[in-house]
Amino acid sequence: MVEAHAEGEVGRVITSGVLDIPGSTMLDKMQYINTVDDSIRRFCVFEPRGAAQMSTNLLLPPTREDCDAGFIVLQGDKAHAMSGSNTICVVTVLLETGILEMKEPETIVRLDMPAGLVVARAECRNGKCVRVALDVNPSFVEMLDAEVDVPGLGKVIVDIAYGGIHYGLIDPMQLGLKIAPESARALVDVGCRIHRAINQQLDFQHPLISELNEISYTMFVDTRENGELVGATILPPGRIDRSPCGTGNSARLAVRHVRGEVEVGQTDTARSIIDSQFQVSLKELTRVGNKPAVIPTISGRGWIHGIRQIGYDPTDPYPDGYKVSDCWGDAFDLLM
């Protein structure tokens, strides 16, 4: 296992020890983990081998002939179809450990993910993966200015958009909050409550992938006076993404395009709650089924910070790990 992070968000990578997961496609394999047997997720993600503030990426042989590698993102609630920061971690690990050959000045890596093909362009120099740009899945809007009734908050306005996974995008000003480290706990509490309300009250459906019919995360979004985007993605069981969030900014890009706030070819800087940054570009326009969509490009940096092995003794009473609310929050109903 290789430890890595992308702009602050930990995304360690399992490079060996798991032969495969049942399923003919990467989406099938993700669904197998989420609906049949998620022991590998619990084993890797929960304590004592894991922690709330991280993801684990399971490298697998690709199911598509046009891809170099496949992987599935394992998190505290379930396996997910796509993640920008985790993809940057995976590409960095694949190239810097020699699993895939690094070619300077640029290496193209084609990744088989549950959400579909993701093409990564890695800038490489002196044996290091310096920066990774991702051509992300087509992203589109499901709903604009939708209302949800949130216990303790009343009516909250949200946008629902897809950026590889579905998001509920929220302006924090309507709740009297701002995106800042000192507001993190309040953002998490409110974001989890809105998450529940969206999935209980709003109906939407990816036009091509029937399994994708609820939000994975909420994301608070704002814009600084200098025009930079700032966001805070709330991940179950109750924490904030330390990176600016690739899939979240892809979903946000689709909303911004529909509202006339961004044009093809435009690049913006997106900041996280710890002030790390991604570059977000609108590459081109397309369609997904009957929906107009955008092709985002997300770029950022990843770093390897450790190598480890995990396992367990047969006498260990916690083979699937455990979670306690002091670290994992009180959003246990958002965990599987």
Residue 129 a catalytic site member: no
Name which of 119, 116, 142 is nearest 255 in CA terms.
142
Residue in 44, 55, 67, 83 annotated catalytic: 83
Please compute Rg for the chain using Cα positions: 19
DSSP 231: E
CB neighbour list of residue 225: distance below 8 Å, 6 or more residues apart: none
Tokens linked to 108:
């193209």
Tokens linked to 334:
């958002």
Residue in 245, 250, 272, 281 annotated catalytic: 245
Which 3-state string (H, E, C) describes 42-97?
A: HHHHCECCCCCCCEEEEEECCCCCCCCEEEEEECCCCEECCCHHHHHHHHHHHHHC
Q: For residues 8 and 274, what is the distance between their CA atoms, to the nearest angstrom?
A: 8
Residue 67 a catalytic site member: no
**What is the number of other CB atoms lying within 10 angstroms of the CB of residue 55?**
24
Sort strands 267-271 and 229-235 into parallel, antiparallel or unpaired: parallel
Burial string for 64-78 (b: 16+ CB within 10 Å, else e) reads eeebbbbbbbbbbbb
Q: CA angle, 53 as apex, 278 and 178 as ends, to 5°?
A: 60
At 160 the three-state DSSP class reads strand
- In 63-125, alpha helices (H): 84-96
Q: CA angle, 283 as apex, 277 and 284 as ends, to 5°?
A: 150
The β-bridge partners of 222 are 230
Q: For residues 108 and 262, what is the distance between their CA atoms, to the nearest angstrom?
A: 27
Say if residues 46 and 323 touch (Cβ distance below 8 Å).
yes
The β-bridge partners of 147 are 157
Sort strands 55-60 and 69-74 into parallel, antiparallel or unpaired: antiparallel
Residues annotated as catalytic (active site), given as ranges: 83, 245
